[in-house]
Amino acid sequence: MDTGKLSLAVTWDGASVGSVDVRSTRPQASVLLKGKTPAQVMQLVPLLFSVCGHAQGAAAESALRAARQIDPGDAQALDRKIRSEVLQEHLWRMLLDWPKALGLPQQEKLFMHWHAMLRRIASGDAGTTRLRLEFERDWLGVALADWRELDDVRAWWRSTQSPAARLLAALDEQACCMRNTSALLSAWSAAQAQIACAGRWSTAFAAAPDDRGGAAETGAWSYHADHRMLGERYSNASKRLLARLIDTVKLLDENAAPRLDAIAPAAGEGIAVARTARGLLMHHVQLEAERVTEYSIVAPTEWNFHPGGAFVQDMVGLEERDEASLRRRAHIAALSLDPCVAFEIEVRHA
């Protein structure tokens, strides 16, 4: 299935960005689920979503079980798969994508080693202890407990030579001044999602979701918005990467909070929410006579690349006199929001 792409057009007058046009060809895969049985939905969902596949599958299964008012199944196993997938996505960005974008060495061998460990963790064949110890030694350069207690995280990344510190230092230097902010979406439970979205579950809402009429950003920053390390005046991109590191540290604690929740607001209706690496994922299903009559999937990319959303807010008003630098900063802004499809940057001259 064609996953589509994002086209991000930045209008620039040679001094600053005046406007941003976001266009998505990402298909609404949920329309293919209408009329299907629950068993068919569970077969289709993994085929439709190659990115965050475990989270998509777990959300679909949980929403369907809630709608059918049957036992939720092995919720711990589903949550373990989601947490392992989130860790995999975080490590992919931190060890491969961000170093490439910032001109630092990529850590391919280390990533592949940890990726194999996460497959065993996801299947329940291993815990996170070994991964945690290796992450402390080979990436963070300090014990997790000591890192959590840092008084000045910027001083740490400026004075430490661990790969994690070098990455944050390089981004802090290159991503200055992107400080406009859209609202941060709360990490809703399924019940909170129903309160916020009741009566609005539709293809149109899934394509451009809003919270009380306004665009909102979701992701690790929104999960940890109150974390003391994120209270300083960093660029948005730096906050997002730091929040990703904070989320990774929390996930390596085997007592971390669950990432999946589901409810049944009414008979035949189910809602599931999953906190993925990219942000809040929501599935809403309505069943009648064991057939899907309505299905909505609201994914993080549609929140973050809303026509008035976080990427637009990052870029509008950004002062830059060099086109190559503008393209690089637009790329950094988009990468920090981690879309689940390919993206392209276009600079339009005003």
Residue whose entry in the numeric block shows the structure tokens 């990468």: 335
- Give domain limits for the chain: 5-349
331-348 CB burial, b ≥16 within 10 A, e <16: ebbbbbbbbbbebebeee
Beta bridge partners of 342: 5
Instruction: Tell me the C-alpha distance between 82 and 31, whole Å.
Output: 24
Which of 327, 313, 217 minimizes the C-alpha distance to 22? 313
The pLDDT of 167-194, averaged and rounded, is 86
Pairing label, strands 269-275, 260-266? antiparallel
CATH topology of domain 5-349: Cytochrome-c3 Hydrogenase; chain B (1.10.645)
The pLDDT of 289-313, averaged and rounded, is 95
Supply φ then ψ for residue 280, to 5 degrees: -75, 125
Structure token pair of residue 129: 């202890």
CB 18 within 8 A of CB 12: yes
Per-residue model confidence (pLDDT) at position 49:
83
pLDDT tens digits, 244-286: 999 999 999 867 789 999 999 999 999 999 999 999 999 999 9
Q: Is the pLDDT of residue 42 over 80?
A: yes
Q: Is the pLDDT of residue 140 over 60?
A: yes
Per-residue model confidence (pLDDT) at position 102:
95
Q: Is the pLDDT of residue 1 over 60?
A: no
Query: What is the 8-class DSSP label of residue 264?
Result: E
Query: What is the 8-class DSSP label of residue 280?
Result: E
Which of 81, 121, 131 minimizes the C-alpha distance to 259? 81
pLDDT tens digits, 7-28: 999 999 999 999 999 998 887 8
SS3 312: helix
Edge-to-edge strands of the sheet including 269-275? 260-266, 269-275, 280-288, 291-298
Supply φ then ψ for residue 23, to 5 degrees: -125, 135
Per-residue model confidence (pLDDT) at position 176:
64
- Its pTM stands at 0.94
* Separation in Å, CA 70 to CA 63, 65, 194, 263, 268: 11, 5, 19, 11, 11
